[in-house]
Structure 1
Amino acid sequence: MNRKRVVIFSGGDLYPQYINEIQPADFVIGADKGALFLIRHGIKPDLAVGDFDSISPQELKHVRAESGNIIECDPVDKDLSDTELAFEMAARQEPDFILLIGGTGTRMDHTLANVQMLNWALQHQIRCAIMDRNNYITLTGSTIEVLDRGFKYVSLLPMTPEVTGITLEGFQYPLEDATLKMGDSLGISNVLLGDRGQVSIASGLLLVIQSRD
């Protein structure tokens, strides 16, 4: 079976270099002004979704003309955020992996909601990551390989009240069958020894955040 990626461009912080993350076979979704960003940088999204309340009527007309398909919803009478709607549409593609770009920014509520979408993806058995200029964020409930992506630090933060059986391989500060609780700082600012490492846990959900200053 072919491996398939979906790349979502949401309405948070967006920078031109993000376009380089798109691979030729990717299914590309633009959520709200993420769709306009793609179009302005020469990418025709396969799907544009959202209420489009952050762009002008003329810009929305441009998005309608330049997108493969578009799903519009009312900005008031809706139950899902634009990014959550994009995730639901992404799941319909039955992807192996979802990459969310523009999922972080000045709105902490949106940023945290998008981080929680990692759990949604995990429940749907889809690998997922959130990427911005300073962070690459993933979530595991079992074992995950951490690749050197040019970020200096790797931090581990519980997404559940307690995460048990944490074992690290290939890190400067190893752990063996450790437990982390919410608020613990033991997992902050570790460093890969080589080009990859492995994080395994026995129970709970663990955020793995690669970051730089």
Structure 2
Amino acid sequence: MSMKRAIIFSGGQLHPDFVQQIQEDDLIIGADRGALFLIEHGIHPHVAVGDFDSLTNREHDLENIKANSDQLIVYDSVEKDWSDTEAAFEIAMERHIREILILGALGTRFDHTLANVQLLVRAVQHQVNCSIMDMNNYISLTSTQAVIENRGFPYISLLPITSEVTGINLTGFQYPLEHATLRMGQSRGISNHLINEEGTVSIEGGLLLIIQSRD
């Protein structure tokens, strides 16, 4: 089966509605507790990966994951070099997937949240379309141009992930920009809005986070 997209369920904040994001030909990867979440919601992951240290009843839950996944990869929690989400990301990259959606990558652990957001940089470097979504945010990254669709998140914020982002042009937004520059530490790009069903962000230099959000 040819798979064009990978959908990763990580171990952060997950919601039952997330299973509705799964499409027929997706490569479904459960990272740590995300694998158990999938199985508990009737989804059979193609790959379950992680050290599984977040499982409440590790031995029992791991047997359940093993029995209901096509492939189980268990890493040692001390010896591994990757987070569970990064390990899942690497599996998608190794299979030459060109689009990745990560769910459950945001949560109470800000260190994990920030590390997961930085995976978007790796994706851009390999020309992979990658995004992170939870119930309140849809996060993507561009180094060139992006079309922003109305996904039901009213606020759209632009934040540089490099020291500066130059040549920013916005079309279809309430507050347009033309040949603008945003630098780290500035809040000028916070809380914009689409005026149509989609808008366009283009930049000439740097890496720009695009965060669609709601309260």
What range is the shorter-chain TM-score in?
over 0.9
Structure 1 consecutive aligned stretches of length 4 or more whose deviation exceeds 3 Å? none
Q: Give the conservation status (yes or no) of the 8 Å contact 1:9–1:30.
A: yes
Q: Give the conservation status (yes or no) of the 8 Å contact 2:3–2:26.
A: no
Structure 2 SS opposite 1:28: strand
State the AA in 2 paired with 1:168.
Answer: L
Please, what TM-score do these two structures have when normalized by structure 2?
0.97
Q: Alpha-carbon deviation of 1:3?
A: 7.2
Structure 2 SS opposite 1:95: coil
1:65 aligns with 67
State the AA in 2 paired with 1:206.
Answer: L
1:192 aligns with 194
Structure 1 SS opposite 2:212: strand
Distance 2:38 2:16 in 1: 9
Distance 1:158 1:29 in 2: 29
Matched, 1:25 2:32: no
- For residues 140-159 of structure 1, the aligned pairs below 5 Å read 140-159=142-161
Distance 1:185 1:136 in 2: 19
1:37-90 per-residue CA deviation (whole Å, 9 max, x = no partner) reads 000000000000001111121000100110011111101111111111101001
Could you tell me the percent identity over the aligned residues?
58
Number of residue equivalences: 212
Structure 2 SS opposite 1:168: strand
Q: Give the conservation status (yes or no) of the 8 Å contact 1:3–1:96.
A: no
Q: Alpha-carbon deviation of 1:123?
A: 1.0
1:85 aligns with 87
Distance 1:167 1:195 in 2: 18
1:164 aligns with 166
Distance 2:201 2:157 in 1: 11
User: Which blocks of at least 5 consecutive residues in structure 1 are unaligned?
Assistant: none
Distance 2:67 2:78 in 1: 24
State the AA in 2 paired with 1:114.
Answer: N
Q: How big is the alpha-carbon RMSD for the aligned residues of Structure 1 and Structure 2?
A: 0.9
- For residues 1-213 of structure 1, the aligned pairs below 5 Å read 4-55=4-55, 56-213=58-215
Q: Alpha-carbon deviation of 1:7?
A: 0.1
State the AA in 2 paired with 1:35.
Answer: A
Distance 1:171 1:93 in 2: 36
State the AA in 1 paired with 2:181.
Answer: T
Distance 1:77 1:183 in 2: 36
Q: Alpha-carbon deviation of 1:93?
A: 2.1
Q: Alpha-carbon deviation of 1:96?
A: 2.1
Distance 2:81 2:26 in 1: 27
State the AA in 2 paired with 1:121.
Answer: A
Q: Give the conservation status (yes or no) of the 8 Å contact 1:51–1:73.
A: yes
Please, what TM-score do these two structures have when normalized by structure 1?
0.98
State the AA in 1 paired with 2:82.
Answer: L
Q: Alpha-carbon deviation of 1:211?
A: 0.3
